[in-house]
Amino acid sequence: MSWLALDWAETAPVADVYERVILTLMAGRADKDGTGVWLSPGTIARGAVSDEQTVKRRMRALRERGVIAYGDQSLAAKIPANRRPKVYDLMIPVSFYSPTQLAEVNRMREENGRPPLTPENRPDLPEAAPSRKARSDTGTSRPRSAAADEADKQPLTWTDSQGGLVDPPAMEAGGSTRPGQGGLVDPARGVYETPKTPRDNPSEEPTGGRRNGVRHPREGTPDPAPEIVFNLDDKDTWLCRRHRANPPRPDEDRKSCPGCGRTRRWSEKQLAERAAAAAARRKTCTWHDDARHVIDPATGGPFHPAVKCDCTTTSPEAVAARIAATQEANRPSGPIATAGRAEYRRRFPRKPTARPATGRRRAATDSTGNSDRHATPPAVDHEGLPMTQGSHNAAGVKASRLDRVEESA
């Protein structure tokens, strides 16, 4: 694909819209010099949403006027012969290229073994496309059929609902007539009776449709989906006014709606402008460091815990006030902790339990109220007499020796 070929296809001399579409599709497969296009008429017809015979006629006309020509057929040799299309070249004139573009195109052709482009092999095309042929019956009226002429000769009569003839109604103001109880009789078609309206027969009023200017759904139909509210941050709501009022089905192609396309492009432009404005604010913002963490004026570093800066509402004063309020609410006697304890007591109430009697003697207490359960007993000698700090070793050791002597004796 080459943008040069596409640019030329937009201004090439064509006779109608079919030739313009055919040239555009062929230019999408061509090289910079317009060569090497092998598209079958069927493929072009599917892309142009047209008939294959129409495409063949238009391509023949373009070839006869010199807009396209047969190219190097060996380029499509890899395709089987029964399915091989013709190879065409777009005859882009040399005057279309600038000197720089022409030098680049000729260099590419030289690398591929092709001769350079010259005014002789790529002359200028006629500026104006051939005019379309006028219809042979332009300005003449369509002939009327014999049945219509015979029906016009028959007299018109008025009849009532029973089939009897009545006088024609009087002409109303404005030049119109309104049938009364009967209807207009056409001998060629029979009697026409005025249909009964729902206002004359309330019991025959339809269950759906529009009544009194209000549209009513038919019985058995599901309720309509609620109207979609546009939200710039939600791509599913980028719909036109008609599709927001009547949400499309999941299998419906919304990209084919021009209104939805305009809404989508406008929304993308708004998001791009918002992103550009946010980037500009980040460059000029002095609230954050290189990591975009809000700087604490008291310490000169980021807050703890760190807070990301959005360059709009996260000023250091606002962040400090928010952290202080959070710490105040989370302190042990704060509202959050108090509410948590109350909720815990409500969900897990304390169950009263009776302590069983163990039968142990309560420890005696002295005059100071201290218990003697764990008091150390006083040191005594072998005769049961209390011992002092100094006499413990001497008396105790001496008594133990005397006992051993006596036992040995």
- What pLDDT was estimated at residue 19? 93
82-96, 157-171, 310-324, 332-346: segment of lowest average pLDDT: 157-171
Top mean-pLDDT range of 250-254, 272-276, 369-373: 272-276
pLDDT at 321 over 80: yes
Q: How many CB atoms lie within 10 A of CB 100?
A: 8
229: tokens are 């509210």
- Which pLDDT score, from 0 to 100, does residue 350 have? 80
Higher pLDDT, 312 or 51: 51
Report which of 124, 15, 127 is spatially closest to residue 61, judged by C-alpha positions. Answer: 15
Q: Nearest-CA neighbor of 399 among 385, 409, 389?
A: 385
Q: What is the pLDDT of residues 122-175, one digit of tens each?
A: 999 887 666 777 777 777 877 777 777 776 666 655 555 555 555 555 544 444
Q: Backbone phi, then psi, for 27, in 5-degree steps?
A: -65, -25
Q: pLDDT digits over 27-53, tens only?
A: 999 999 999 999 999 999 999 999 999
Q: Which stretches within 353-390 are classed as H helix? A: none
**Those residues with Cβ within 8 angstroms of residue 371's Cβ, 6 or more apart along the chain or in another chain:** 363, 364, 365
What percentage of residues in the chain have a pLDDT greater than 90?
Answer: 26
Integer Cα distance of 87 and 79 in angstroms = 12
Question: How far from 201 is each of 181, 182, 197, CA to CA, in Å?
Answer: 15, 17, 6
pLDDT digit string, tens, across residues 218-233: 555 555 567 788 888 8
Residues with Cβ within 8 Å of 312's Cβ and at least 6 positions away in sequence, in order, are 281
Structure tokens at 156: 């018109």
More confident residue, 327 or 174: 327
CA–CA separation, 398 vs 137, rounded Å? 156
Q: What is the pLDDT of residue 235?
A: 84
Measure the CA–CA gap between 398 and 392, rounded to whole angstroms. 10
Query: Would the pLDDT of 66 be above 80?
Result: yes
Cα torsion 58, 59, 62, 64: sign: negative
pLDDT of residue 55: 94
For the chain, the average pLDDT equals 75
Between residues 354 and 336, the one the model is more confident about: 336
Is pLDDT at 364 greater than 60 in this prediction? Answer: no
pLDDT at position 180: 45
Q: Measure the CA–CA gap between 184 and 116, rounded to whole angstroms.
A: 80
> For 180-215, how does the pLDDT look when each residue is reduced to its tens digit (9 = 90+)?
444 444 444 444 455 544 444 444 444 445 545 455
Q: Please give the model's pTM, rounded to 2 decimal places.
A: 0.37
Helix segments in 191-257, DSSP class H: 241-245
- Number of C-beta neighbours around residue 106 at 10 A: 18
Span 310-327, mean pLDDT? 81
321 versus 84: the higher-pLDDT residue is 84
pLDDT for residue 144: 74
pLDDT digits (tens, 9 = 90+) for 271-299: 998 888 888 887 888 877 877 788 888 88
Structural domains of the chain sorted by starting position, each given as residue range(s) with its CATH number in brackets: 3-111 (1.10.10.10), 235-284 (no CATH), 285-347 (no CATH)
Question: What is the signed CA dihedral for 232, 238, 240, 243, rounded to 10 degrees?
Answer: -130
Q: Contacts from 284-287 at CB under 8 Å and sequence distance 24+?
A: 285/309, 285/311, 287/311, 287/314, 287/315, 287/316
Q: Which of 131-135, 333-337, 397-401 has the lowest mean pLDDT?
A: 397-401
Query: Please, which pLDDT band fits residue 338 given cuts at 50, 70 and 90?
Result: confident
pLDDT of residue 391 exceeding 60, the answer is no
User: For 67-81, 202-216, 240-254, which range has the lowest pLDDT when averaged over its residues?
Assistant: 202-216
DSSP string, 41-99: HHHHHHHHTS-HHHHHHHHHHHHHTTSEEE--GGGGTTS-GGGPPPPEEE---GGGS-H
Side chain identity at residue 139, one-letter code? G
How many percent of the chain have pLDDT more than 70? Answer: 65
